Amino acid sequence: MSAMALLEPGDVAAADALTYPGFKLAAEACHLELVSIPAAGRGPDPDVLAQLCKRRKVRAIYAMPTLHNPLGWVMAAQRRRELVAIARKHDLNVIEDGAYAFLEEAPPPPIAALAPERTVYVSGLSKSVATGLRVGMIHGPQQWIEKLERAIRATTWHTPAVMTAIACSWLEDGTVTRLQAQKRIDARQRQDIVTETLRHLKPVRHPTSYFVWLSMPEEVRADAVSKELMRADVLVSPADPYATSKHIPHAIRLELGSGDVHTLRQSLQTVARAVAALAY
């Protein structure tokens, strides 16, 4: 939310056709106009973005180049450079979300390193360390720091001192690095279970992420699958909250991190059965 301090009500912001729902809510709260950029491979289509910038006064683009939520892509270095070139040509601010970047062991340089003069990088420890460790970080150009600080004071003020001390200590002594490595191992094991149970449904995912995007077969409606799974006490996320365009794909997002691996395997088997039952 603090990164929105760089924008004014009515400004146009571009985001992926499927994106993090929290950004959609933040854009709505700030009265921004959100425009959709379709994907082209592992990243937003640069040609579409360039054409949009010629037609509209786009002020910012929200991007998740390293482990996209919900599609799990890691944007190639060349695509990042293309995105930066468009941002510089059309004077776009870049809001780079790195919340899940820790799940990629060897990522390309972040956009913030390629275009530090126009990029705000946001991340935190709630995903990479512990849900309850609600400590976030933001990095941006020096000339934006005062405005970003004011936005933080106006919204979250600050984290509790004890929590901040724990976070700083764990960052310095290597605890965060160790826990992130353990999470990558755990996530890979969970994705292996996805491969065992859902391979025939062609799940879209990153090999060390904690979520899966599952498009439905042509004859199956995602809302029907969600309702069937709810009756079986398996909760999934529909596509609606992630979509920034009027086109809502028949797909669901599966969260893999909750519960033990035995429960996960059972839940994924339930998903497979529900889709198969509705396919006939």
CB within 8 Å of 151: residues ≥ 6 apart: 1, 2, 3, 4, 5
The fraction of the chain above a pLDDT of 70, given in percent, is: 99
pLDDT of residue 149: 85
How far apart (Å, rounded) are the C-alpha atoms in residues 64 and 217?
Answer: 27
Give the predicted TM-score (pTM) of the model: 0.92
pLDDT of residue 170: 94
**Confidence class of residue 228 from pLDDT cuts 50, 70 and 90?**
very high
Mean pLDDT of 51-72: 96
CB 222 within 8 A of CB 239: yes
Beta strand pairing status for 58-63 and 93-97? parallel
Mean pLDDT of 201-216: 96
Burial (Cβ within 10 Å: 0-12, 13-18, ≥19) of residue 46 = middle
User: Residue 18 forms beta bridges with which residues?
Assistant: 243
Q: What is the pLDDT of residues 246-264, one digit of tens each?
A: 999 999 999 999 889 999 9
The fraction of the chain above a pLDDT of 90, given in percent, is: 80
For the cut 90, the answer to whether the pLDDT of residue 1 exceeds it is no
Residues in the chain, total? 280
Average pLDDT, the chain: 93
Nearest to 65 by CA among 84, 52, 47: 84
Phi, psi of 265 (to 5 degrees): -60, -45
CB within 8 Å of 27: residues ≥ 6 apart: 4, 13, 15, 34
| Domains of the chain: residue spans and CATH | 2-172 (3.40.640.10), 177-278 (3.90.1150.10)
For the cut 90, the answer to whether the pLDDT of residue 147 exceeds it is no
